Each structure stands twice: as structure tokens, then as C-alpha cells.
Structure 1
Amino acid sequence: MLEWPGKPTLMMIRADDPRRMPIRLRQQLIDEGFNDRAIARRVRDGMWARPRRGAYVDGPAWRALDDVQKHAVVARAVLLTARTDVVLSHASALGEYGAPTWNIDLSMVHVTRLDGRAGRKEAGVRQHAGSLRADDWEVRGGVPVTSATRLALDMTTLVDVETSLVIVNHLLHQKLTDPARLERTRAFMDAWPNTLHTDLVLRLADGRIESVGESRCFHLCWRYGLPRPEPQYKIRDANGRVVARVDFAWPDLGVFLEFDGMVKYRKLLRDGETASDVVVREKLREELICRLTGWRCIRLVWADLLSPEITAARIREQLYPMPLAS
């Protein structure tokens, strides 16, 4: 069986990371003198929780976790109880790289077998039978997991173009992979199932895009046939000094776009400031950019992405405004 540092508790990184809570297996508890009735009583009383059959954790700590953190704990329990050598992969590997889980179904733990045999789906676990080369997986925080490059490509076979793009852009932006590595690994995927839109995602991917919201805006532009915008466009003053950077720009059309997500506002918040202070400062920044460039500004929020067709029409109107009647 595959061995990795930290088995069986996997407590190899920060002790205060809630995803790394100790996992105790049934046989360990039996060896310590507990019987099945005593174990069941502690679960029933809430002292312990059972994230997976035969695996137990502290009850109050488990209940304090969010869904993403709980998935990570369940995934570790799957590794500990697996009867064959597997590594975390697909959706279950995202958390190991801090990748976003927007629009991701976390009801199933995904692993990839190392023996190359056929995968299967059972008891909340989906085993994939992909062929893993030596550089397709690594150990992170004591946990065997597919590499960031392999993860990016695997996700294009599991979810749609928009969701894949969110993930691939994040991994590129964090420099956990790069276009060259993606292309090299992609060359081995010709016989893989469900790779219909893998090449499309790689063509759309851009490591300059910084957030889920920005990736979704970029995808919206592609989906509705709008010109490809330039991400993270620098605005310069008359002396050539960079005074601002906008999320997207169409310089030839005189338009820039800003996505106003909560993550951005939290990042912009300075000590002692309120959200209102940030809004005012952003408004002044927008006025400065418009004054320097003469461009038109489009601002989008999460709600706009719920009506993509309407939002695309709004962007198109700004890109190609109707001339005023004489």
C-alpha cells in the first residue's frame, strides 16, 4: 500500500487548520478499549462525529466546519480507509491548492487509482482510472494529490467550460502551473473520455485574471460573441506613470470594465475604513480613469452574472454605442 507522511492522522501541516483535525479509525478505537456500542454512544451524544464509515472525529469541531472543510476531512478519511493506492483528484484536490469551489458538487469524494485499473463509484466515492505519470501527482501537507497541472486538465473533463475556466485561471494566476506544462500534459490526453472542451478552456485561460467573478465575466464575453477584453489593463497618466489598473479593457473601443465583488472590496478595505469609504474611493478612481482616457466604464456585480444575456447586451451597447440623432 502507498505510504505517505502522517498516516494515519495526516497531521502534517498547521495544527490549527480545521481540515487537518485528527481522524481516528474504528480499529484504533477498538485497540484503545472502546467497543462498537461505546463508539455509537459517543456519536449519538455528539462527542464524536463519523464523517465516513469507520472513521471518527471530534464532534464539536466537525460541526463548526463549512461544507468545503467537511469535504476535505471526508476525503482524508477516504484515503485512510482505501483498499488500494489512490490520490485525491478532480473536485477533491481543489482545496489542497486553495482553488475555488464555485459551482462544484462536493457530495462525492474523487480519487484516482495508481494501479491503472478500472475505476468505480460507490459509497460517496468516485474512483477514476486515469493513468498517472510520476509528475502527475505529489504529496501536499501529507496528502497524496494530483499536481496542479493534472488537476486543471482533469477538471475540464468533469465540469462545464465556465467552471473549468474559473479553476484553470486560478491555478495559472497563482503560478501553480503554466501554459507550457498544461500543453505538455494535454498531449497525453487524446484517448481520455470527456475532453471535448479541454482545448477550448486552454485557449480561453489567462493567468492575469484574478478572481471567480472576473473569470465569469471573461467567459460571458466569449459566450456572447463580444470582443476579447484585455485583462488587468494598466492606465497611465500624461507622464507614462501607471495610476490605475482595471479588470478588463477594450482600448480600441474606449471602454473598460470593473467587476465589483465582495472579495475585491475586502481587499481594498484599509484600516479604519468602512465599505462606504471604499465605494467613494472607487468612484473617484473611476472618474480619474475616465478623465485621463476619455473611456466609458462598465461596472458589473454578481447579480449581473445571473442574467448573462441581458448583461452581454448592456456591454455590447457600451462597446458599440448608437450615434446620437442629429
Structure 2
Amino acid sequence: MCANLLYSVDADRDGPGRRSLALRCTTGELVRIRPGVYLDGQSWAGLSPWERERLRLAAAVQSGRTRRVLIQQSAAVIWGIPTIGTPLEVMLLALPPVNGHRRGDLRWARRRLLEPLTTVDGLPVTSKAQTVLDMAAYLPFEQAVPAMDHVIRPDRRRGLQALEKDALRQLAQGLPTQAKRVRAMRVITFADERSESPGESYSRAVIHRNGFPAPELQQSFHSPGGRLLGRTDFFWKQQELVGEFDGAVKYGKTQTDGGTQPEHALLQEKRREDAIRATGVGFLRWSWSEVFKPAGAPDGLVQALLRAGLPQLRPRA
């Protein structure tokens, strides 16, 4: 973490005092990252939401008087593992003899260490495998699946190898209770490296938990002449139904990524969808808004799947 953070304790000791930092926040010159920690406003404006969260966690670790170790969702952010939902707490390891407790947005929790602690970008964290196993053991199924899907694929951006399912299963035997071992095993077994985004992974978990048949992932469609028309996130062959998460995800980069214009990408996506529809399949799209809705919500994913003709084979798990 290379951001030039400013701390109120330093301002009291070496500078004009913390009141001056607060005044600079009112003008937008500074942004308060967390209590007592600030960053200049221009630097903050240039950060993505993911980078801002990493910086918030770094500030929480570095402003502690004693060693702080990030765990679970907080460690996942530092590892580059997807997390679902708005992070409200900084998750920290409660080191003996301290038990779990909270202070402000900080939460210390006891965890049995399955592997030695490590550091990423200078921040102490649980190992990559422990991080996802703790998420599988302590979080709802839908939130744990995207993380597990991610780690069983190679992380080429960070140069990290995929974690093997057998190794994860063996490590999960060290979780503290049978219930947590069962929860973790369920997530490991369900995980699929073919899911290409957190939204696809979360959707697949919702589909499974609500008793729908398992879809084929990354199904390829071809023209009568054999030309590849595209791949789809989900396909139910028996119902001849295609499911897609969140719009033009199968096409390249947006303008902000230095790639194609968003309008061009949307046009490509529409042509791809029209070509796949022409093969005789139904097509259903959804976004985060639909997937987060309760099962009974008329505008949610579950009801949309039922209207599209997908059967519920069993009640919600």
C-alpha cells in the first residue's frame, strides 16, 4: 500500500493539530478514510471502489497500537478474492488471550489457524486457503461460493496458482466444529472454475439453493455452418433456456479499461444474443438487482426463472 496516509496522532505531535485535518476535509482537500486517518482528496478520487476498500483496510491495520491480522472478507479483499455485499466491519484475528469483541467498525474474532499467517502488500493476513475456508464455514452459502470459485482458478493478474479442491478438503478437516466442516465441504464440492464472474457464481448458488436444475456453464452455440456464435453463462438444455448475468459480460473491455466503446460492446452483445436466439432457445437476463431479491419477489430472479418455465425440483435448501 503506497498511498500517503495522514494520521491525526502525527498532526498532534508534529503538525498543526487534528483540527486542521478536519477543516481540510470540509474543503475537499482531504478525505477521512477512517477515524484518525486521512488521504488527499485528489488521490482518493482516482481510486476504484476496490482500491478504496483495500486502503480502508490498510489504514485500520496500520493505525493499531498492537499487531492486527486481517481475516475472512477483509483478508479476501487484500488477496483479490471477490466479496459480496457492502463491507461494514474490518475483520481481525483475535490473538490469544483476547476473545472476540467489537470496537467501532473493527471486529476481532477467534479462528483456528489452519496454515501459518502471511503478508500481502505488507499487510498481515490469513493464508489464501484459510481465508476462503473461513468464508465457507462462517458466511451464507451464496456469499462463500464466489470466493471459492475464484481460488480454484489461476489468478493470472496476481500470478497466483489455483488451489486444488482435494487440498482444500484436507485443510478443512482442521475447522473447529463438525458443522463448520460440513458447510465448508458443501461449498468446495459446489465450486466450479468455469464461473467467470462473482455475479455468475452468486447466481448459480441462488439457483441451486432454490431447487432449480443445475445449468450447463459456458455452453457454446454455433451457426448451421459451424461458426461460433458465442458462449452463455447458463444453459438448461431440457428447457432450451439460456441464462445470462448482467448484460454484455461476454464482450471485452469498456472505454474506462482502455478498450472498446461501451456502445460498440452493447451492439456486439445484442448481435450475439440475437444470433443465439435464432437457434431456437429462450433467453433470460438478470442483474444484481434481481439476484438479491427474495424468492417470492415478483421482480426477482427466482420468479423470473419460474416464469421462463424452469421447474423447481425441490424446496429451497
Identify whether the pair has TM-score above 0.5, normalized to the shorter chain.
yes
The code of the aligned residue for 1:314 comes to R
Alignment partner, residue 119 of structure 1? 100
One-letter amino acid of the structure 2 residue matched with residue 152 of structure 1? V
Residue in 2 that maps onto 1:264: 249
2:149 maps to amino acid: N
User: Deviation digits for residues 117-149 of structure 1, max 9, x if unmatched?
Assistant: 4232112101122132444x3222222222222
Q: Aligned-residue CA RMSD in angstroms?
A: 3.4
Quote the residue 1:212 is aligned against.
198
Taking structure 1 as the reference length, the TM-score comes to: 0.74
Contact 1:255 1:319 in 2 (8 A): no
The aligned runs of 1:127-206 (5 Å cut-off) are: 127-135=108-116, 137-175=117-155, 176-191=162-177, 197-206=183-192
Opposite residue 118 of structure 1, the aligned amino acid is: N
Structure 2 CA distance for aligned equivalents of residues 198 and 192 of structure 1: 10
Q: Are the aligned partners of 2:101 and 2:107 in contact in 1 as well (CA < 8 Å)?
A: yes
Alpha-carbon distance in 1 for matches of 2:126, 2:232:
34
- 1:224 aligned to 203, 210, 213, which one? 210
Say yes or no: does 1:277 pair with 2:270.
no
Q: Which whole-Å deviations, capped at 9, do the CAs of 1:201-244 have from their partners, x for residues lacking one?
A: 22221111112332233223312322212212344678988664
User: What is the rounded CA distance, in whole Å, between the counterparts of 1:199 and 1:125 in structure 2?
Assistant: 29
- Post-superposition offset of 1:267: 2.4
The 3-state SS of whatever aligns with 1:43 is: helix
* Counterpart for residue 308 of structure 1: 301
- The residue type paired with residue 218 of structure 1 is R
Question: Given residue 123 of structure 1, which amino acid in structure 2 is its aligned partner?
Answer: G
1:236-255 residue pairs with structure 2 within 5 A?
244-251=230-237, 253=238, 255=240
Q: Is the 8 A contact 1:111 1:125 kept in 2?
A: yes
* 1:106 to 1:254, Cα distance in 2 relative to 1, 3 A: closer
For residues 145 and 246 of structure 1, the distance between their equivalents in structure 2, rounded to whole angstroms, comes to 36
Larger Rg: 1
**Paired residue type of 2:133:** L
Cα distance in 1 for residues equivalent to 2:248 and 2:91:
28
Task: Say which SS state the counterpart of residue 148 (structure 2) adopts.
Answer: helix
Cα distance, 1:86–1:42 mapped onto 2, change above 3 Å: closer
**Matched-pair contact (CA < 8 Å) for 2:7–2:38:** yes
For 1:236 and 1:49, locate their aligned partners in 2 and report how far apart those are by CA, in whole Å: 52
C-alpha spacing 1:280/1:178, structure 2 compared with 1 (3 Å) = same
CA distance in 1, matches of 2:22, 2:179: 41
Letter in 2 for 1:150: Q
**Paired position in structure 2 for 1:3:** none
- Structure 1 residues 318 and 194 mapped into 2: Cα distance closer, same or farther (>3 Å)? closer
Q: For residues 284 and 198 of structure 2, what CA distance do their matches in structure 1 show?
A: 16
1: distance between equivalents of 2:146 and 2:282? 24
Q: Which runs of 5+ in 2 are unaligned?
A: 156-161, 294-299
Residues 287 and 35 of structure 1: CA distance in aligned 2, closer, same or farther (over 3 Å): closer
Instruction: Name the CA shift for 1:111/1:266 in 2 (closer, same or farther; >3 Å).
Output: farther
Matched AA of 2:242: L
1:94-136 deviation line (CA, Å, top 9, x unaligned): 3223333332x4121111245574232112101122132444x
Once the two structures are superposed, what CA deviation does each residue of 1:6-63 show, in whole Å capped at 9, x if it has no partner?
xxxx42xxxxxxxxx22233454455x3143xx3123223244443344333244346
Q: Deviations over 1:70-116 (max 9, x none)?
A: 4322321221132433322222123223333332x412111124557
Are the aligned partners of 2:277 and 2:283 in contact in 1 as well (CA < 8 Å)? no
Partner residue in 2 for 1:42:
21
Distance between the aligned counterparts of 1:284 and 1:309, measured in 2? 24
- Tell me: CA distance 1:58–1:85, structure 2 relative to 1, closer, same or farther (3 Å): same
Check conservation: 1:42, 1:48, Cα contact below 8 A: yes
Aligned to 1:323: none
Letter of the 1:95 partner, please give it.
Answer: V
Q: Deviations over 1:158-201 (max 9, x none)?
A: 43111211222233334543312321221111438866633322
Q: Give the Cα separation in 2 of the matches to 1:138 and 1:261.
A: 35
TM-score computed with the length of structure 2 as normaliser: 0.75
Q: Which residue, 79, 84, 87 being the options, matches 1:106? A: 87
